[in-house]
Copies of this chain bind each other. A is one copy, B any other.
Amino acid sequence: MSLHIGVDVGGTKVLAAEVDPDGTVLRTARRSTPGRRVDTALVEQALTEAVAEVAGGRPVDGVGLAAAGFVDAAGERVMFAPHLPWQGEDVRARLEERWGTPVALDNDANCAVLAEATLGAGRGVADVVLVTMGTGIGGALVLDGRVRRGRNGMAGEFGHAQVVPEGRPCECGGAGCWEQYASGNALVRHARARIGAEPTVLEQACDGDPETLTGPMVTDAAVRGDRVALGAFASVGDWLGVGVANLVAALDPDLVVIGGGVSAAGDLLLEPARRALARSLVGAAHRDVPQVVRARFGPEAGVVGGAILARDAEHRAGRIWS
């Protein structure tokens, strides 16, 4: 049996995994990421160790890297990453040479959409929009069964669409970006603002210090029916649906998949989003409104997508070479 390894190169950790063709993760290895202001050799060493640990001496048929940063349109370089040291290095070729095995590279959102469209919630669907809601919003597109990367490899930056004129400033330098209203940060901000003003179990959860509140605390409280937490999900979910309606109006896709950490809340998030989509989408009465579903793959979306990327690359290479 062939061995393909997916590697999620995140801002705080590297996760490598052997993934079988059905998307099952068989074996993993983890290293912490040494940060942005270090030599790139340190990150590449961490990757090498993690891949070697997963391989355990077996020959590797291919590695697919899912990087948390901008990858160029050719899938060769990491141009910029907020928490990694690469700045334009030819990461793919460099590691392919070092490891002596085919390496493929893409950004993490594109790997995640590949996982969903191939083996997950979007299996068998031609056009899939993926929105990942974590601290901020990420996104990716599969159209006609292929990941759409764009001229600069930067397609899918949905989170920075301006949805509020003169709105909240965003780390990107803009203001009123979608991710300021529909993200884990927005969820926590909403909940935090109500602590002290209304009775809520969140007060205990954060020991009276709203600054220590986290997204998972809000999710837990919402599951238990806490009114403040449900209110935060109602707001964030509504904004999710409004932004999804904008994407559906532009692309008319078959399916919308919601991933990322906040999607763990399931229908607490998705129900208000579906309502807002039905309300906001132009011509909703004249069309099939696409379903909005939760992603199949959670924190493993990157490694599964990476492994698929590795398999596809081999396949494509095979077709060309043979």
Interface residues of A (CB under 8 A from B): 70, 79-80, 127, 139, 141, 143, 148-158, 160-169, 172-177, 180-181, 193-194, 197-198, 242, 245-247, 249-254, 275, 278-280, 282-283, 286-288, 290
Contacts and interface: CB of A to CB of B under 8 A. Distances in A.
B172 A251 contact: no
Contact of A286 (B70, B155, B254, B279): B70
A164 B161 contact: no
A152 B197 contact: no
A197 B278 contact: yes
Given A165-B163, A275-B197, A156 B245 contact: no
A151 B127 contact: yes
- Give the copy number: 4
Contact of A151 (B151, B160, B249, B254): B254
Which 4 A-B residue pairings sit nearest by Cβ, starting from the closest? A150-B252, A160-B282, A161-B246, A155-B252
A152 B254 CA distance: 9
14 contacts: A151-B252, A151-B288, A151-B290, A152-B287, A154-B249, A157-B249, A161-B250, A162-B242, A163-B165, A165-B166, A168-B169, A168-B175, A197-B275, A197-B278
Given A157-B249, A174-B280, A165 B162 contact: no
A314 to B, nearest CB: 23
Contact of A181 (B166, B254, B275): B166
A283 B70 contact: yes
A253 B151 contact: yes
